[in-house]
Structure 1
Amino acid sequence: MNTKTILALACFISLALTGTARAADMHTRVIAATCMACHGPGGKSLSKDIPDLTGLEQDKFVQLMKEFKSGERESTIMHRHAAGYTNAEFEAMGAYFAGLK
């Protein structure tokens, strides 16, 4: 392969990976938005009975969601929500909420 072909392939791969990262970011924002129906706009709860998600440490978020999913942590509704997500999605949402201020 000549240099131009290698550079063109490198650019194409870079663009493809960038698009994938943006798609994953959009996916995370969409699934995190479902949390905001109860946990408030931007993860800031409007009720004293529902905890804020804004600024919650990623590891804590992931731990709680796994506990809801397994049934280890009791809840009226969260186990149903948690059942629909993968561990990777828990990690992504945890990072998203940890980054909100």
Structure 2
Amino acid sequence: MIRAPVLFRALCGALCGVLSLVAAGARAAEPPGASSCSGCHALRGEASAGIPPILSKPADEIAAAMLAYRAGEGSPTVMDRIAKGFTEEEIRAIAAWIASRR
């Protein structure tokens, strides 16, 4: 016969394991196009060749910059051409994903 405290602990442990897997899966859901950011931008916080790191930025700031580039605003870089390849929803999803990696 299984004692109630032992069964309770086993169920709690199993539930915690499932919840941690769900949380890890939700955080790891990388939107399409997000991995291309790390080609130029440092995602770990270090600057590279004058290109600013974006990992330390909040999602709203990343999205605003991308939307400005998409609208043709800002200094002429490759970013205006890259940003035009994404919809506003995709840009916001990418920004949220990058900000969640902090």
TM-score range, shorter chain: 0.5 to 0.7
Q: CA deviation at 1:75?
A: 2.4
| Over 2 Å off, 4+ runs | 42-46
Gaps of 5+ in 2: 1-25
Q: CA RMSD in A?
A: 2.1
Corresponding residue of 1:33 = 35
**What is the number of equivalent residue pairs in this alignment?**
76
The aligned residue for residue 11 of structure 2 is none
Per the alignment, residue 18 of structure 1 pairs with none
- Whether contact under 8 Å (1:36, 1:43) holds in the other structure is no
Q: TM-score, normalised by structure 2?
A: 0.64
Opposite residue 66 of structure 2, the aligned amino acid is M
Aligned-residue offset at 1:32: 1.0
Asked whether the 8 Å contact 2:45–2:56 carries over to 1, the reply is no
Larger radius of gyration: 2
Task: Indicate the residue corresponding to 1:16 in structure 2.
Answer: none
Structure 1 unaligned spans of 5+: 1-21
- Which digits, 9 at most, give the CA deviation of each residue in 1:34-77, with x for residues without a partner? 0111113x354541511111131111111100110111112221
TM-score w.r.t. the length of structure 1 is: 0.65
